[in-house]
Structures are given as C-alpha cells and as structure tokens.
Structure 1
Amino acid sequence: MRFKSREYPGYDKDPMHGMSHEAKLIRDAWAFRLLSEDEKCEGWRSDQFEQLWSQVDAIWEKADFRIANLPPEVQDKYMKLQMEALRKAKAAGWDPDGMLELDD
C-alpha cells in the first residue's frame, strides 16, 4: 500500500469524509485494537501508515482476509465502525461512484 508523502490531517478531518485509504486503515486498526479510538493519526506521514498497514495486514492475513474469520467481538466492532463511517460519509456528501479515481 502506498500513501502520499504529505501529513495526514487526521481521521476527523479526512478529505474523503473517512473513506480514504488512510481512514479505512485507521478503522481496521481500531477494530483490531492496534490503536485506541482516540488516536486520529493527525500529522502522520506515509512511513507511520506503512508500519500500521503491516500490522493490520498481518491480522487480515491470519483471517484469510475474511471478516467471518475474525473473532466475533472483532467482527462486531469492525462492522459497527464501517457502518458508522459509511453513514457519516454519505451524510457529508461522499459519493461512492467518485471513488473511481486513478493515480498516476
């Protein structure tokens, strides 16, 4: 996973209303208890996100990248975080069809 070299503004200030790669990674880390939900990653740079991604990816790999293979309490936490993020993003005007952006 590659992240831009800029500093991340923080989960609550995510430019894609919580739907950026960084925000999705943060929610996974919250669900997996790698980060407390108080940690919004404000000011984080790409190297910090890459380290977190390695930890999150290791957990997903053990679960064969399937939500159903996560422990029930983690599944519940994961789904609550995802549904709340989706609700907030849509309320803020996020359009899932706008996600079809191509990076150079």
Structure 2
Amino acid sequence: MNRPTAYVGIHADVYGGMTDIGRMIRDAWVFGILPETETCEGWELPKFDTLYGQVHAAWDPYGHMVSQLPADLRARHERIYDTAVKRARELGWSPDLDDDEDE
C-alpha cells in the first residue's frame, strides 16, 4: 500500500485538521510562524519536522500552556481554536473521538 508523502492541507484533513499536524499548523498561526492563509497543502511530510521545532520553541517561554500566553496571543489562540472546533463539530467530530481508550 502506498502511503501519501504530501499533506492534504488542514482544511481537507480529518475533521478539518483535528489531528496532530492540524494542531501544529494552528499553533504556527497563533505564533505568526505561518500566515493563517497557509494550509500546508502539498507539503512533504518531513517538512513538518522543521515546523514542529519552531512551534515547540515558540511555546517554550509559556510553558506550553495557553493560560501563560500574553493577552494578544491568548486571544488569537482562542479565535483560531474556537473556529476550528466549531468547524470540526459541523463535520461530526467529538472530543471523545480523541480518547485512546480500548473498549
């Protein structure tokens, strides 16, 4: 089976990007690493390793906690994530889908 080597883009990703890559892209938007118009469609998957490092470094001063973000970044985070959650729910996503519990 052939595995895809290029990313489909955040809007075409599962539930509008409710994946690890989608969260990384949204965090990159929050910190201004990527413009909010960048969906990463067509990116080769190894390129995300670089983005991960940039996003991780951007979170470091805030202990990787939204509550520690300055007001402007916290407001941007809230806007971006509220929009993403609303869209994901419209597509049938539920936070319970992220549980790794085996039943």
Using the size of structure 1 for normalisation, the TM-score is 0.85
Q: Which amino acid aligns with 1:98?
A: L
Q: Does 1:20 align with 2:19?
A: yes
For 2:16, what is the secondary structure of its paired residue?
Answer: coil
Q: Does 1:54 align with 2:15?
A: no
CA–CA distance in structure 2, aligned partners of residues 12 and 59 of structure 1: 23
Q: Which runs of 4+ in 1 moved over 6 A?
A: none
Matching residue of 1:74: 73
Matching residue of 2:36: 37
**Retained in 1: the 8 A contact 2:15–2:91?**
no
**Retained in 1: the 8 A contact 2:16–2:88?**
yes
CA–CA distance in structure 2, aligned partners of residues 64 and 97 of structure 1: 26
Deviates more, 1:41-50 or 1:77-86: 41-50
* Unaligned residue ranges in structure 1 (runs of 5+): none
Count of matched residue positions in the alignment of Structure 1 and Structure 2? 99
Q: Deviations over 1:35-61 (max 9, x none)?
A: 001110001122211101101101111
Using the size of structure 2 for normalisation, the TM-score is 0.86
For 1:6, what is the secondary structure of its paired residue?
Answer: coil
Identity of aligned residues (%): 32
**Root mean square deviation, CA, Å:** 1.8
